[in-house]
Chain A
């Protein structure tokens, strides 16, 4: 049989999705379902003075109105070891537990009614009086403070470095210094966040939009002081998330409380506008870089400060320094990470959290350095190629970044670039070529899966993972099919249910490296189990054979010496009168992290076309080459990469929260005014995967590819805009007012 891993298999869940048969969280149609709507605070800080709920309670269809005055007091038990996706210090929002308002958009009441329209209407009738207190709603980088110990322990360190930066900088013959600003951004997945909470006695089922059912269950168990076993979370399909569904947000707690109150299943779906307040976002950041180099362009000193906004009730922080720590060879380095507390809802991970930010600053500064040196930007990267992870003092488990640079540059036609800015024109437009490097650290986490071989020839593979869009259903099916020797359509992968074997978070680009290996282990385990059965049997083709005399191959068992036929799994099951045989397998990270540093890499080349008179930028061409280890499915991998390019294009040219400090609020909180790229923005995009197979990192040889795909895109565009116009736009997005200003 041909290899299945590496084939461009179409999404196995595609037909269900495009025909409407895929059931998303909001669509579970439970008998007696009631609808909840939230009332959100309209001041940035203060407290609720009074709530007039009479009109809401009297409105048609209303089943309950709940505020801090009558909501149950919840235990909010501490989670012994907080998962990485949660804020690492402070307290998650304790919703409706007191009269305090911590940010504009904090829920102050929830209304439950027979229909969605009735709930929404009644929520508008709740009259809330507030007492305002002074609020911090202006980002002031000078107020930055180091992250707390909790975050430092979780790898969001306040400082890192090596060597003597000051000394080396003083000596450096070539220096650049710059400040870059990147605004608050929102995930804006198509599917809004939604939860259906359903109590049956003491047992709770949640149909939820989540990237991690196991953690969702854990969080709610702690909030309500329940045993985890009493909670089931179901989340078979996720309509995009980009990190916003990694952790459990307060509205889930509200839905659970509301369902308890009205003794019916309750659905709570956030409106688009509420998504800008009730879940997280990518924090506003400012960064300051100083690069010192010798005349040949070798970096001798690197200083990088990243300052980000953070909420005040809990502390979410990011690994923004990680790219600077190891992307280039540089002996003298100092990076600092600071947080500015503001009265806002808490930020949270958004595709390549922190890393995309760090890469943005570093790669724009590298471009400025190249210009200062009069050197080709690609050449500058090559001169500073990091042969090892200098910060960790470890070799890379694999690194094919040179091949990425070469392949993408060649394909793009980088050699045609004229070095001088403003030197390329076409049809009245200024043309610019820009490039940047991408990196995202590769991690693994423990996870497990089960495989059942059934009498009808199918294999059912299960794990409590998630597929928010990358194609987990498909790629895991391929891994199982190849390991079991079955065709793809004989394998069914099931995910998104806490009743299934434990899976790690579907984030951080770790799913394939973590769970893929668990799926392999589970497949092997079920093969072993079947082999034992066949050997232990009284009769049959393998009865009484030694352990190493029987091997699994080509969808069945055969003799190791190749004699005799391969007996398909299903036939063996029939011979032994079994309906199915099932086994679990798991995979854990091993010693590799002590021996190697692992990361996915990429090189992005873009062409921009700038209409100087009107200040508009378009991107006709974007080519990325990536080292993501082994590629399980080039089709879904390509989708991820061009998705990352589109996301990066939005980041460079369109996305920004328009924040009004007087209200402490995002004003353009809808998809008509918060712009993301549309089809017309997206022209030629190409993703190339350079060959690699990183067995040092894990047995499957994969790295991660979801997040590296967005890193490097925005700086490549900004660098191209400079090349086109001679203007360094250091604040994103690059919109007409910045190009005309």
Chain B
């Protein structure tokens, strides 16, 4: 761990200024502290966002839900509006980490959680994401946690957060405040970037950007939704694979709108458009669901350690669809 200074900031403008001067933000600190301890990050300063007044969940006039970036995961998991209207979000949050972590961790921090790739977090090994150009140790290494989708020859690290997967299914957006003060909305689906040949760049955020809030649009409030997470133990583990489903059926019981996303298997929360297409306009029955779910792993690139994720992804999506369709 390198020595650093600590600076609480009172407003977003102040935060942006410090960031441009080299500071890194800390919110709940649940990921940041690990990265500091392991010497993965060496910021000269930590700018504390907890004084920005960005916590809390509220309903907007049009019925959308606005979740402040500094809202703790547990507060969001317990929120009655979210629970009632967006079960996929509540379920994803309740399956995140442990109660202790959830009471500290924030929604904004969760969007930016760094990968759990074993090599990223062990500074004695090469890793392109941590040290661009040093090589990717996971390609030929212990990669059972790594991605089968969205990877490149430079990086196959999974974006490990659960909540953003639910947010993609809910068609949610992130509100960013740029260093100059301009605010902009970015769909969660396009918030994270594919690694390509710059795996160190993980999102569309620009230097000095602060995440202010997340918005779940009003149309998603009318959807049914559901989250299924598969992990190595019953609790307190990142997803080996997860599936988030949100849909609306028409009067005939056919799928009128649908968004499906996967976690734990891809370099970013992964929208499964092809699975959606297979089901749109159809009634959900077991066979159709099973056949649709097979498309989930389309384009997967498997390695010895993570090949199991292709069938697991299909099965996880199938389970989520069966359960939401009342077919399980």
Tell me which residues across on chain A come within 8 A of B39, comparing CB atoms. 124
Tell me which residues across on chain A come within 8 A of B137, comparing CB atoms. 660, 662
- Interface residues of A toward B: which range? 35 or more
Question: How far does the alpha carbon of A662 sit from the alpha carbon of B140 in the complex, in Å?
Answer: 9
Question: How far does the alpha carbon of A659 sit from the alpha carbon of B232 in the complex, in Å?
Answer: 18
Give the residue name and chain of the B residue nearest to A735 (CB): B232
Cβ of A387 within 8 Å of any chain B Cβ, yes or no, is no
Interface 1/0s, chain A 599-640, versus B by CB < 8 A?
000000000000001111010000000000000000000000
Tell me which residues across on chain B come within 8 A of A615, comparing CB atoms. 230, 308, 312, 315
Contact A667 B119 (CB under 8 A): yes
A428-B328, A614-B312, A667-B142 given; A675·B3 CB < 8 A: no
Interface 1/0s, chain B 132-145, versus A by CB < 8 A?
00000100111011
Tell me which residues across on chain A come within 8 A of B38, comparing CB atoms. 273
Question: How far does the alpha carbon of A667 sit from the alpha carbon of B127 in the complex, in Å?
Answer: 13
Please report whether the interface of chain B is mostly helix, strand, loop or mixed according to DSSP. loop
Give the residue name and chain of the B residue nearest to A271 (CB): B37
Cβ of B224 within 8 Å of any chain A Cβ, yes or no, is no
Give the residue name and chain of the B residue nearest to A661 (CB): B141
Interface 1/0s, chain B 299-321, versus A by CB < 8 A?
00000000110011001101100
Measured between C-beta atoms, what is the minimum distance from B142 to chain A in Å?
4
Cβ of B5 within 8 Å of any chain A Cβ, yes or no, is no
Tell me which residues across on chain B come within 8 A of A675, comparing CB atoms. 232-233, 237
Interface residues of A in 650-670 (CB under 8 A from B): 653-654, 658-660, 662-663, 665, 667-670
Question: How far does the alpha carbon of A121 sit from the alpha carbon of B3 in the complex, in Å?
Answer: 7
Interface residues of A in 701-741 (CB under 8 A from B): 735-737, 740-741
Give the residue name and chain of the A residue nearest to B311 (CB): A740
Give the residue name and chain of the A residue nearest to B322 (CB): A613
Question: How far does the alpha carbon of A653 sit from the alpha carbon of B231 in the complex, in Å?
Answer: 12
Contact B232 A654 (CB under 8 A): yes
Measured between C-beta atoms, what is the minimum distance from A672 to chain B in Å?
7
Measured between C-beta atoms, what is the minimum distance from B88 to chain A in Å?
18
Cβ of B283 within 8 Å of any chain A Cβ, yes or no, is no
Interface 1/0s, chain B 36-49, versus A by CB < 8 A?
01110000000000
Cβ of A673 within 8 Å of any chain B Cβ, yes or no, is yes
Interface residues of A in 74-124 (CB under 8 A from B): 117, 120-121, 124
Please report whether the interface of chain A is mostly helix, strand, loop or mixed according to DSSP. loop
Contact B116 A660 (CB under 8 A): no
Tell me which residues across on chain A come within 8 A of B142, comparing CB atoms. 658-660, 667-668
Contact B2 A662 (CB under 8 A): no
Question: How far does the alpha carbon of A44 sit from the alpha carbon of B145 in the complex, in Å?
Answer: 24
Tell me which residues across on chain A come within 8 A of B318, comparing CB atoms. 613
Contact A654 B233 (CB under 8 A): yes
Tell me which residues across on chain A come within 8 A of B37, comparing CB atoms. 271
Cβ of A680 within 8 Å of any chain B Cβ, yes or no, is yes
Cβ of B125 within 8 Å of any chain A Cβ, yes or no, is yes
Measured between C-beta atoms, what is the minimum distance from A589 to chain B in Å?
42
Interface 1/0s, chain B 109-137, versus A by CB < 8 A?
00000001011011011000000000001
Contact A121 B233 (CB under 8 A): no
Contact B240 A736 (CB under 8 A): yes
Cβ of A29 within 8 Å of any chain B Cβ, yes or no, is no
Cβ of A190 within 8 Å of any chain B Cβ, yes or no, is no
Cβ of B234 within 8 Å of any chain A Cβ, yes or no, is yes
Contact B233 A736 (CB under 8 A): no
Measured between C-beta atoms, what is the minimum distance from B104 to chain A in Å?
15
Interface 1/0s, chain A 37-49, versus B by CB < 8 A?
0000010000000
A121-B3, A124-B2, A667-B141 given; A673·B124 CB < 8 A: no
Interface 1/0s, chain B 232-272, versus A by CB < 8 A?
11111100100000000000000000000000000000000
Contact B237 A668 (CB under 8 A): no
Contact B235 A680 (CB under 8 A): yes
Contact B312 A740 (CB under 8 A): yes
Tell me which residues across on chain A come within 8 A of B234, comparing CB atoms. 618, 678, 680-681
Measured between C-beta atoms, what is the minimum distance from A648 to chain B in Å?
14
Question: How far does the alpha carbon of A235 sit from the alpha carbon of B228 in the complex, in Å?
Answer: 47
Contact B3 A117 (CB under 8 A): yes
Measured between C-beta atoms, what is the minimum distance from B238 to chain A in Å?
8
Question: How far does the alpha carbon of A361 sit from the alpha carbon of B307 in the complex, in Å?
Answer: 28
Question: How far does the alpha carbon of A741 sit from the alpha carbon of B234 in the complex, in Å?
Answer: 21
Contact B233 A663 (CB under 8 A): no
Contact B230 A614 (CB under 8 A): yes
Interface 1/0s, chain B 192-235, versus A by CB < 8 A?
00000000000000000000000000000000000000111111
Could you say which of B118, B140, B308 contacts A736, with CB atoms under 8 Å apart? B308
Question: How far does the alpha carbon of A663 sit from the alpha carbon of B135 in the complex, in Å?
Answer: 14
Tell me which residues across on chain B come within 8 A of A541, comparing CB atoms. none
Cβ of B1 within 8 Å of any chain A Cβ, yes or no, is yes
Return the 9 tightest CB-CB contacts between A and B, nearest first.
A737-B308, A680-B235, A680-B234, A667-B118, A42-B124, A658-B142, A613-B315, A681-B234, A678-B236
Q: 13 new A-B pairs (CB below 8 Å) besides A271-B37, A670-B121, A678-B235?
A: A273-B122, A654-B233, A660-B137, A663-B124, A667-B122, A667-B142, A669-B122, A672-B34, A681-B233, A735-B232, A740-B312, A740-B315, A741-B308
A-B contact pairs, 25 of them (CB 8 A): A60-B3, A117-B3, A120-B1, A121-B1, A614-B312, A616-B231, A654-B232, A660-B125, A662-B137, A663-B124, A665-B124, A667-B118, A667-B141, A667-B142, A668-B142, A672-B116, A673-B145, A675-B237, A678-B235, A678-B236, A680-B233, A680-B235, A681-B233, A737-B307, A741-B308
Binding site for B on A (CB under 8 A): 42, 60, 117, 120-121, 124, 271, 273, 428, 613-616, 618, 653-654, 658-660, 662-663, 665, 667-670, 672-673, 675, 677-681, 735-737, 740-741
